[in-house]
Structure 1
Amino acid sequence: MKLAFSSLGMPGAGINELIRCAEAGKAEGLELRIAAGDAISQDMPASAQRSVKQRLEDSGLTLIALSSYIQICSPEPDEDVIRALHQSLELAATLGAGGVRIFPGADRGNGETKDWDQIAAGRLSVAAEAASGLGVDLLLETHDSHPTGRDISRILRLVEPAGTTKAIWDVLHPWRHGERPEETASDLQGSLAYCQFKDAVLGPEPGSVILTLPGRGAIPITEIARIAEEVSRRQGDQTFWACLEWEKAWHPYLEDLPAALSAFRAILKPEATP
């Protein structure tokens, strides 16, 4: 198991600051979100792309993915969504990223009845050839309209050719929707890319959660890591990545990323924690 973290935990940080945080926290990988004002943006100049790639190579860190905000079930025309996918895939290939994170994003409350799974699968199938040619994975996250492993697996079964899109298991969403880790693992077996970890307790309002430092919440982090690592091993993966997604960008009250990364390491790699 290797540890990574998302740049979501350090909004506005440049690549050098992120690398220093990784080195101090003994993380071996990064997940960089594509966002204006952050280390990576969709319109960054080619010279900046080359600089970021070189810094990552010099540091020895693995760029496990770029986190896009593309919603594969967006009501936008197919060609617009697919164009955005291609742009993010090309950026990922240039930077040496392993994949591009995608959200489901189906709008089930707009009064229209649509086959969201088929819409998502159709678009992913079109983008799959480009992804394969670039050596970059399409990564669909357990999130929003498709929060569970079962939800994501319905889409992945429809994508052609099979195996061209993988899943990111964001542990918060299956947990808060009552899906047991064994169920999520079973549904994602054969397509799991990596896990995004966070911790939380259920909030007072239906469906709400309160984020906590890793180890202080109710999400069974160690159990999920054990199960997911076994899934990864059965898939034949050489490395299982456990990525901390610390939502500092959305919740400024949270402690700074280094504290969360330290707590995360203490749970999953206690033998390597000072």
Structure 2
Amino acid sequence: MKFAFSTLGVPGLSVPDVLRLAVEHGYHGVELRAHPEEPVHTGLGLVERADVAAAFKAAGVEILGVAGYARVAEPGEDGPVIDEVNSLVSLARDLGAPFVRVFPGGGTEQSAADADATAARRLGTLARSAADAGVRILVETHDSHRTGADVTRVLGTVGHRQVGALWDVMHTWLGDESPVDTFAALSPYLGYVQVKDIASADDKTPLALGTGALPLAECLEVLSAEGWDGWLCWEYEKRWYEDAAPLPGLLEPGREYLSRLLSRSG
């Protein structure tokens, strides 16, 4: 498996500094948080996008994906959501990134069936532009669709290769879904896996990998047993928890921890 980390853990850090961290600590790739407060976002011009792609290529580090904030199941008109996702797809294409992350965002003001239908309709529309761009749109296990079973209801309806799933191990755990069940649901659609650690369901402050409550060993055991050989991306949510320890000092121990788990899993 390949290891990446999200720039959510080092908010606002320049591209050269992100690349330095990746190279120094042995990470194969980086997930770029696409937000105006970050160096890489949908407002970048073509020259700037080309410069970012060239910098990653020169460093030998892959851009795993563009982590956007579009909510494909949220109530309202389809147009703004489709435009937002298409802008993320275009950014990923220009950067040479294979994936775009979106959220479900179904909310509480509609039924689960209506949220599923909304997300499936929009993603079905978006699948063609994603295919043309050579980018996969991944729905993260998150908020209204926290478990693999939740996300699979949508993806099974869409039925297009360019629309898949991102497994966030915290949210499936919070949804009381076992790693075995999550993988069984998402395996036909799985793009990559976000790993992290927290103290408890009531305290989601990010912790060093292996020091919290999340079943990381079980997750990696399932992935290894099933022969899955994709990306593990550490999403350390420093942006939302200012008192959390700085990520740079945790990167190498985190990679070593994941490597040990994979070795034990065979």
Same fold by TM-score, threshold 0.5 exceeded? Answer: yes
TM-score of the aligned structures, taking structure 2 as reference length: 0.93
Secondary structure class of the residue paired with 1:269: helix
Match of 1:269 in 2: 259
Partner of residue 213 from structure 1, selected from 208, 214, 222:
208
Match of 1:202 in 2: 200
Q: Pairwise mapping of residues 120-131 of structure 1 onto structure 2 (< 5 A)? A: 120-131=119-130
Tell me if structure 2 keeps the 8 A contact 1:232–1:240: no
Q: Pairwise mapping of residues 134-213 of structure 1 onto structure 2 (< 5 A)? A: 134-160=133-159, 162-203=160-201, 205=202, 209-213=204-208
Deviation at 1:164, TM superposition (A): 2.5
What is the aligned-residue RMSD (CA, Å)?
1.8
Give the Cα–Cα distance (whole angstroms) in 1 for the partners of residues 82 and 237 of structure 2: 27
Deviation at 1:259, TM superposition (A): 2.6
Secondary structure class of the residue paired with 2:199: strand
Secondary structure class of the residue paired with 1:139: strand
How big is each residue's C-alpha offset from its partner over 1:46-91, in whole Å with a ceiling of 9 and x where there is no partner? 2211110100111111111100000001223111111111111011
Q: Counterpart amino acid of 2:231?
A: W
Deviation at 1:244, TM superposition (A): 0.3
Aligned length: 261
Deviation at 1:268, TM superposition (A): 1.3
Tell me if structure 2 keeps the 8 A contact 1:139–1:166: yes
Q: Counterpart amino acid of 2:98?
A: G
Tell me if structure 1 keeps the 8 A contact 2:105–2:143: yes
| 1:14 and 2:4 aligned | no
Q: Which runs of 5+ in 2 are unaligned?
A: none
Tell me if structure 1 keeps the 8 A contact 2:33–2:40: yes
Give the Cα–Cα distance (whole angstroms) in 2 for the partners of residues 43 and 230 of structure 1: 42
Give the Cα–Cα distance (whole angstroms) in 2 for the partners of residues 271 and 20 of structure 1: 25
Give the Cα–Cα distance (whole angstroms) in 1 for the partners of residues 167 and 230 of structure 2: 12
| 1:224 and 2:219 aligned | yes
Q: State percent identity of aligned pairs.
A: 33
Match of 2:79 in 1: 79
Give the Cα–Cα distance (whole angstroms) in 2 for the partners of residues 176 and 86 of structure 1: 30
Give the Cα–Cα distance (whole angstroms) in 2 for the partners of residues 65 and 194 of structure 1: 10
Q: Which runs of 5+ in 1 are unaligned?
A: 234-238
Runs of 4+ in 1 over 4 A off after TM superposition: 229-232
TM-score of the aligned structures, taking structure 1 as reference length: 0.90
